[in-house]
Amino acid sequence: MAQQSGSGGPLGGPGQSAREQRATGQPGSGPATARLADIAAHAGVSEATVSRVLNGKPQVAAATRESVLAALDVLGYERPVRLRQRSAGLVGLITPELENPIFPALAQVISQALTRQGYTPVLATQTPGGSTEDELTEMLVDRGVSGMIYVSGLHADTTADTARYDQLRARGVPFVLVDGFSPKVRAPFISPDDRAAMDLAVRHLVSLGHTRIGLALGPQRFVPVQRKTEGFVRSMRELLGLDPEDIEQRLVQHSLYTVEGGQAAAAALIERGCTAVVCASDMMALGAIRAVRQRELRVPQDVSVVGFDDSPLIPFTDPPLTTVRKPVPAMGQAAVRTLLDEMQGTPAPHSEFVFMPELVVRGSTAAAPA
């Protein structure tokens, strides 16, 4: 997933394009200062420092040099050939399908963090009817990856056999697991706080006067689903005094993590009188909005909808979606740091690093209807 620059060649060096000359500040280029200023502002250094790094000059601290090179990567410029690191090795990254935009967003964070450390990320995506997680793992291990990162893999499925991870560890391949925890797997885990996410959503809706709040989420066998259910039931009991058994029977609806799944789950909850629906993904929330409109109701005047993830483009939906933001940058960077520690012989304990989500209030929630 190495990012290609739109300039057609590396910064600096012979044969530069006009854009590259502007970026490196070659004489005679009018916008040179503006280009250097962009890189300098992103790296938090002076333009003179950027120029020294790009031209391979000494007297630049290693950390400062890395900041400038990282700024080049983020802004879409290729590094000058003389400054490129040789690959320190391949790292496998296995994700679910990429239709849900939160997965490519997380893959991008992980890939950029690996690239900055000199590693080459190799993305393998599971698709319906395609290669399984085990087949993708075997393919990547055969290619000599130095480590593996799994996102929402079989480790999140409580019915899956975890022996596959024991076998991987026995082969000497370090790995990190993102989204989902298993006490049976000896590895570091990276997760959002799913229980806290539901508490944020429920408290927001209760503050708006909603008392009939439903939860739409995926199949029950997945760890994030179980945790979201626990958080939802606990908050509904504490804030509204509802019976936990009644909450699970009438206000929790399992479906698929798709637009269609969200639509079906929300339709069932609306039929039970819910004036607000919390969804376990933004994709499900889009389906919930569709279900509301199919009944000639309005979002948020008649039914409020809350998503989860804060995927790219979600702020531009109609109405803009209130959602619980998954801490993707922090989780992705932590996954890489933890994997590098594992690969360098200082493994993390069998533990879970949990990251706090954030409520983002937009236009899909409002006061409960009178």
Task: Indicate whether 235 and 301 sit together in one domain.
Answer: yes
Strand, helix or coil at 145?
Answer: coil
Residue 37 lies in a domain: yes
Residue 362 lies in a domain: no
pLDDT, one tens digit per residue, over 142-197 is: 999 999 999 999 999 999 999 999 999 999 999 999 999 999 999 999 999 999 99
Residue 365 lies in a domain: no
Task: Indicate whether 188 and 336 sit together in one domain.
Answer: yes
Residue 121 lies in a domain: yes
* The domain boundary residue, chosen from 54, 83, 112: 83
Distance (Å, whole) CA 307 – CA 104: 18
Task: Indicate whether 154 and 219 sit together in one domain.
Answer: no
pLDDT, one tens digit per residue, over 244-284 is: 999 999 999 999 999 999 999 999 999 999 999 999 999 99
Residue 111, class by beta-carbon neighbours within 10 Å (0-12 exposed, 13-18 middle, 19+ buried)?
buried
Task: Indicate whether 181 and 217 sit together in one domain.
Answer: no
Task: Indicate whether 239 and 298 sit together in one domain.
Answer: yes
**CATH number where 112 lies:** 3.40.50.2300
Residue 369 lies in a domain: no
Residue 361 lies in a domain: no
Give pLDDT, residue 127. Answer: 83
Bigger pLDDT: 40 vs 285:
285
Ramachandran region, residue 354 (left: φ > 0; alpha: ψ -120 to 50; beta: rest): beta
- Domain interval for residue 200: 194-326
Task: Indicate whether 319 and 335 sit together in one domain.
Answer: no
Task: Indicate whether 234 and 146 sit together in one domain.
Answer: no
Task: Indicate whether 221 and 177 sit together in one domain.
Answer: no
User: Average pLDDT in the 24-46 region?
Assistant: 66
Task: Indicate whether 117 and 264 sit together in one domain.
Answer: no
Task: Indicate whether 161 and 262 sit together in one domain.
Answer: no
How many C-beta atoms lie closer than 10 Å to residue 213's C-beta?
Answer: 26
DSSP-derived secondary structure for 290-310 = HHHHHTT--TTTT-EEEEEE-
Instruction: Tell me which DSSP letter residue 177 carries.
Output: E
**CATH number where 69 lies:** 1.10.260.40
Task: Indicate whether 290 and 204 sit together in one domain.
Answer: yes
Q: What are the structure tokens assigned to 336, written together? A: 């890489």
In single-letter form, the type of residue at position 229 comes to T
**Percent of the chain's residues with pLDDT above 90:** 69
Taking all residues of the chain, what is their mean pLDDT, rounded to a whole number? 88
Residue 35 lies in a domain: yes
Task: Indicate whether 198 and 284 sit together in one domain.
Answer: yes
Distance (Å, whole) CA 230 – CA 15: 60
The two most distant CA atoms of the chain are separated, in Å, by: 74
Distance (Å, whole) CA 45 – CA 297: 53
Number of domains making up the chain: 3
pLDDT, one tens digit per residue, over 97-145 is: 888 999 999 999 999 999 999 899 999 998 878 889 999 999 999 999 9
**In sequence order, what are the beta bridge partners of 151?**
178
DSSP-derived secondary structure for 17-61 = -HHHHHHHT-TT-TTHHHHHHHHHHHHTS-HHHHHHHHTT-SS--
Residue 3 lies in a domain: no
In single-letter form, the type of residue at position 143 comes to R
Stated as kind and residue range, the H or E segment containing 67 is: helix 62-75
Distance (Å, whole) CA 137 – CA 93: 9
